[in-house]
Amino acid sequence: MNNAAPLARDRGKVRSDWRSVIRKGWARSKYLHLLALPGVLFFVIFNYVPMYGILIAFQDYQPLKGVRGSPWVGFDQFVKFFEHMYFWRVIRNTLLLSVLELLFVFPLQIAFAILLNEVRKQFYKRFVQTVSYLPHFISLPAIVGMLYMFLSPQDGPINMLLVKVFHMEPINFMGVSEWFRPLYILSDIWTQLGWGAIIYLAALTTVNPDMYESASLDGASRVKMIWHITLPAIQPTIMIMLLLQIGKMMSLGADKVLLMQSPVTYEVSDVISTFVYRRGLEFGEYSFATAVGFFNSLLNIFLLLTANWIVKKTTDNSLF
């Protein structure tokens, strides 16, 4: 009983000290908080408030009745998707395109950044950087429009080359399902190569130049320096970017796929996002489309947590 009063006073003093620290910290950084306020409001309004709409995935949503008035159906919409004739098609196509991006686009960005870092002539290096960044700023409709122009079976330069030089029959690249995936990945490489390399170039600036000089005195070649100095130095950045890429594997954007696909290529081009777009906006199946999108988000979370657990067990890097 005698120790209770001092203990209570100590706890009260600690709480008071914490309140004082918080007040002082807020006073010192109040303008920074105001500066961050628009960004916070943006995410709250456009990312968190719309999550209320997830409720319609468990309803037979009727716009006239609204979210509160629509009847509940539980997991019926999810069961409907699992039993849908195109379930495995959209899952397969989404995974294949995402894995192809991970296998080709992701490592090429790292390789491109390392090769640029090895260039010693600053003018040439900046010129290549600028040229490689430019495609990222071209709109997707323009990119796909250029693909249609260059690959046109009538007057496209690629087909003209095939006909006049190689004496081949013209190929309708955009209308043949076998060419959809290669064209999708190649166009991604063209538009994302330089832009994706920026963060790796920034990470490479932290490498101590003395390490390269020491390796050179020991007789190491440039390839060995890259393998034993450059790659280990940017490994944390590579792991974090890899985890972020895996975390959005199932969220393949519908915009580019919709612009490139046609009914002829649905078998290889129909992904979850285009399926949701078609069922939700074209056919008005709002609850069904929301259930598919929610299931897609759960898959992304599962992939991210699994990849983060594996990376955490094998390396010292992880997101959390």
For residue range 196-238, list pLDDT tens digits in order: 999 999 999 888 888 888 888 888 888 889 898 899 889 989 9
Mean pLDDT within 94-102 = 93
**236 and 184 inside one domain:** yes
Six-digit token pair at 277?
A: 């777009």
**149 and 248 inside one domain:** yes
The span from the CA of 312 to the CA of 320, in Å, is 9
Q: Is residue 156 part of a domain?
A: yes
pLDDT of residue 42: 94
Residues facing 59 on adjacent strands: 72
Residues facing 72 on adjacent strands: 59
Q: Is residue 108 part of a domain?
A: yes
| SS3 of residue 59 by DSSP | strand
**177 and 47 inside one domain:** no
Q: Which residue has the higher pLDDT, 22 or 281?
A: 281
Q: How confident is the model at residue 50 (pLDDT cuts 50, 70, 90)?
A: confident
Q: Which long-range contacts (CB under 8 A, 24 or more apart) does 282-289 make?
A: 286/56, 286/61, 286/63, 287/56, 287/57, 287/58, 287/59, 287/60, 287/61, 287/70, 287/73, 287/77, 288/77, 288/80, 288/81
**301 and 184 inside one domain:** yes
Q: Is residue 194 part of a domain?
A: yes
Mean pLDDT within 1-11 = 53
Number of domains the chain contains: 2
Q: Which residue has the higher pLDDT, 119 or 320?
A: 119
**50 and 88 inside one domain:** no
**101 and 250 inside one domain:** yes
pLDDT of residue 44: 92
Give the domain extent around 52: 4-58
As a whole-number percent, the residues of the chain with pLDDT over 90 amount to 45
pLDDT of residue 207: 86
**102 and 45 inside one domain:** no
pLDDT of residue 11: 55
Say if residue 26's pLDDT is above 60.
Answer: yes
